[in-house]
Structure 1
Amino acid sequence: MTVNGGSGSDVIWTDAGNDMLYGDSGNDTLHGGAGSDVLYGDNSQNLIVNGSFEDLGSASDNVATGWGISTGDLTGWTRSTPETFEVHNATYGGVSGGDGNYWLDLDASPGNAVVSQTVGGLAAGEKLELSVDMADRSGGASGHAEVYWNGQLVGTLDNNTTTFKTYNFDVTAGTGDGSNTLTFKGIGAADNLGASIDNVKLVHAGADTLDGGAGNDTLYGNAGNDTLTGGGRRSALGQ
């Protein structure tokens, strides 16, 4: 049996059988009961579309270059600056550790880029966990970037190496201007050596309680401050 709590703070019990329980958003309590169950505190579904910049949109709008693809149409993302999206090949400029075949440069011709995505289907007050991988080919502040949620600055990406580093931020739906819009803004000199970003994720974060009960269970707390309780043979992953 598969049970998904959906939005809100839920209490879910199952009895015998091998069950799969998803708390989804909210502060949920999941009890697996007997059987070999799999419990997820949050469903960990990424709310960001094309977070690794692999979907290049309309092929007719793409221009292949020696470093990757220049495009005016990047699925899921919009830009408020005149330059095209510059999606670079995974290892271009010595960058390493990204997700997939491409990453996005936040300093495209003719200057720093500002890219955004609005997330639908969120209720005001929902707690979310944002993560993004960032690297810097410039080796300094010229390749840094700022992160905004609903028009409010939530952090700065300031890694000075060509190896991707993961940044995590806690955000809340409906704050600021209420638009539920994520924005990355390149800062520093307009020198075509902007921040390299990749693997953008936004997931629900709840303080969940998971109890596997009897049986050989696997518990995934995922985002948020979770309590996981095992008994016999368990695999517990806080994430």
Structure 2
Amino acid sequence: MKPKCMPLKTTFRMLKHGAVVTGVWMLFAGQLWSQSQGAISGTVMTKASGSRPVRLTIDQRVCGNALQDEGIVVDAAGHLANAVVTLVGVKAPNGNPAAAGVMNEKCRFSPHVQVVKPNAMLTTSSADPVLHTTNAQTESGKSLFNVAVPVPGIKINKPVHGAGMVRLSCNTHPWMKGWVVVTDDVTVVTGADGAFTLPEVPPGKYELRVWHESLKGATQTVVVSAGQPAKVTFELR
């Protein structure tokens, strides 16, 4: 007996129904997975005073007569910016950035602090019509690269090998400083409000570490429960 062909309209209806069921199941599964995860959020504080402006003596036409030192950036309530918060030993699920950029702009490095994975490519460039250099060194003083950025628009790519804190400086403008945090671990940088959030953290006990370029770092043990954010506050001195 010759098999009957299913009407085209019926076939489309069944396919559509199957797609809807699949979509609903994926949404449900995603919600279940999300509910099985926790999160860590908090604030980094300090009672230290913010850094004072630096008086400039060269290239004032471009740089101005003074710039705010970014060594300690804190608001009136004590919220600390540019603190680096790391979930120790926990790899970033999607990986930290494999490429990043640092701009010499108005005689400062922008961004001041950023996070990349080991062996990431760092692109250094300039928006200023003066000679800059981007001098990258490890905390121990080992030179990674030192390149001149003589004109606006030029872009120079350099790899950042290994893990740890990389300090950026400019040979011609000694007040310029920046940091690149090289790590595979889950890591974020606090904004002007001192706040941070680490989403989708599996339940468990973790070590949370805070680093800052000018203040003493700190660590806390944090317990994460499913579906609930763990709240922490750090005060650096």
TM over 0.5, yes or no?
no
* TM-score of the pair, normalised by structure 1: 0.29
Higher Rg: 2
Of Structure 1 and Structure 2, which has the larger fraction of its residues in helix? 2
* TM-score of the pair, normalised by structure 2: 0.29
